[in-house]
Amino acid sequence: MTWAPFYRGDGIERPVTPPPAPPWRTFPRASQHHQFQPPPGLVEAVNAAVLLRRPLLLRGPAGFGKSTVVEQVAHELALGRVLRWQVTSRSTLKEALYRYDALGRIHAQNLRLAHAPSEADRDDIADFLQLGPLGTALLPTESGRPRALLIDEVDKSDMDLPSDLLDVLERGEFEIPELARHPVREIGVRLWDSTETTAVHNGRISCREFPFIVLTSNDERDFPEAFLRRCIRFTMPRPTVRMLERIISAHLGGTDAASALVGEFVERIEQGERLAIDQLLNAVYVLRETHVPDSAQIRDLLLRDLAND
């Protein structure tokens, strides 16, 4: 495949079919568990977290593969589909455990009163409840193995969220107050990102096997000591030339045309620039093609320091 100017900036319509996408940009998104190359020490950290039933806190710059770790572990240990909770500054513990649409329930009740008064007493609370990613992760599984959960970018949370997580991570259980107060003792509740339901008894969910949890942090803040001591912590190391060559080979099947880019990438990181490994993959993917005009300009475009706009 050669570089082709799909867009030319002349306003002339040309039906164009782009070439196949890079393997890490195909949709639906495919797991990268085969391509991920764990750095030294990570395997031991994962095994410690699995053995001790503790969350694994991965720290390091963005774009170094932290979120891919859980995919590889879930695949190797046959833990099933990875549950994901993308943390923001507005995230709360409650939304991670369960979601309750109180307004939707009231609206449905009003519609029944208006159109079917005889059904006014029917209570459909289950239609307005759904377990969150953490709540689903705490459910028992048919296989008896734990579920896998990614809590991504926990350092972007409100200051109180890590402390709010402590009790649930320590006890492995939680209560849904709306169900605990409900006269029906067993109610089916929908799982996160699924059409499946599970029976919740007396409004309480308790895990049998603590889930394998990976929390990622881009080191944008510190965490309370009480939170840190409940986690197995691992900091992703700075990439070396050998490490990057392994990653490129896993994704693209060869590194011969990438040696200069890899060397430049490592040198710039050593000098304090903020770069992500996926930027390097993008650059290698494009610049290994033939007939790329002004490759220096393309390289600068794809390998811009993340700390500079």
Where residue 51 sits, what CATH number does that domain have? Answer: 3.40.50.300
**259 shares a domain with 224:** no
In this prediction, residue 16 has a pLDDT band, given cuts at 50, 70 and 90, of confident
Q: Select from 209, 235, 261 the last residue of a domain.
A: 235
pLDDT at 13 over 90: yes
CB count within 10 Å of CB 14 equals 9
**274 shares a domain with 221:** no
**247 shares a domain with 157:** no
In this prediction, residue 107 has a pLDDT band, given cuts at 50, 70 and 90, of confident
**53 shares a domain with 177:** yes
Lowest average pLDDT, out of 62-71, 111-120, 191-200, goes to 111-120
In this prediction, residue 136 has a pLDDT band, given cuts at 50, 70 and 90, of very high
Residue 145: inside a domain: yes
Entry pTM: 0.89
Q: Select from 188, 219, 235 the last residue of a domain.
A: 235
- Which pLDDT belongs to residue 122? 64
**How many structural domains does the chain have?**
2
**269 shares a domain with 204:** no
pLDDT at 19 over 60: yes
In this prediction, residue 291 has a pLDDT band, given cuts at 50, 70 and 90, of low
Residue-wise pLDDT for 63-86, tens only, equals 888 999 999 999 999 999 999 999
**137 shares a domain with 95:** yes
Q: Select from 182, 207, 235 the last residue of a domain.
A: 235
- Please, what's the largest Cα pairwise distance for the chain? 76
**266 shares a domain with 292:** yes
Can you give the three-state secondary structure of the chain, one letter per residue? CECCCCCCCCCCCCCCCCCCCCHHHCCCCCCCCCCCCCCCCHHHHHHHHHHHCCCEEEECCCCCCHHHHHHHHHHHCCCCCCEEEECCCCCCHHHHHEEECHHHHHHHHHHHHHHCHHHCCCCCHHHHEEECHHHHHCCCCCCCCCCEEEEECHHHCCCCHHHHHHHHHHHCEEECHHHHCCCCCEEEEECCCCCCEEEEECCEEECCCCCEEEEEECCCCCCCHHHHCCCEEEECCCCCHHHHHHHHHHHHCCCHHHHHHHHHHHHHHHCCCCCCHHHHHHHHHHHCCECCCCHHHHHHHHCCCCCCC
**278 shares a domain with 155:** no
- Which pLDDT belongs to residue 157? 96
Q: What residue numbers bound the domain in which 243 lies?
A: 238-300
Residue 256: inside a domain: yes
Lowest average pLDDT, out of 1-5, 98-102, 121-125, 168-172, goes to 1-5
In this prediction, residue 286 has a pLDDT band, given cuts at 50, 70 and 90, of confident
Residue 47: inside a domain: yes
**291 shares a domain with 175:** no
**271 shares a domain with 218:** no
**243 shares a domain with 222:** no
Question: Average pLDDT of 136-151?
Answer: 94
pLDDT at 289 over 80: no
pLDDT at 1 over 60: no
The tokens describing 132, both together, are 């969150």
- Which pLDDT belongs to residue 255? 63
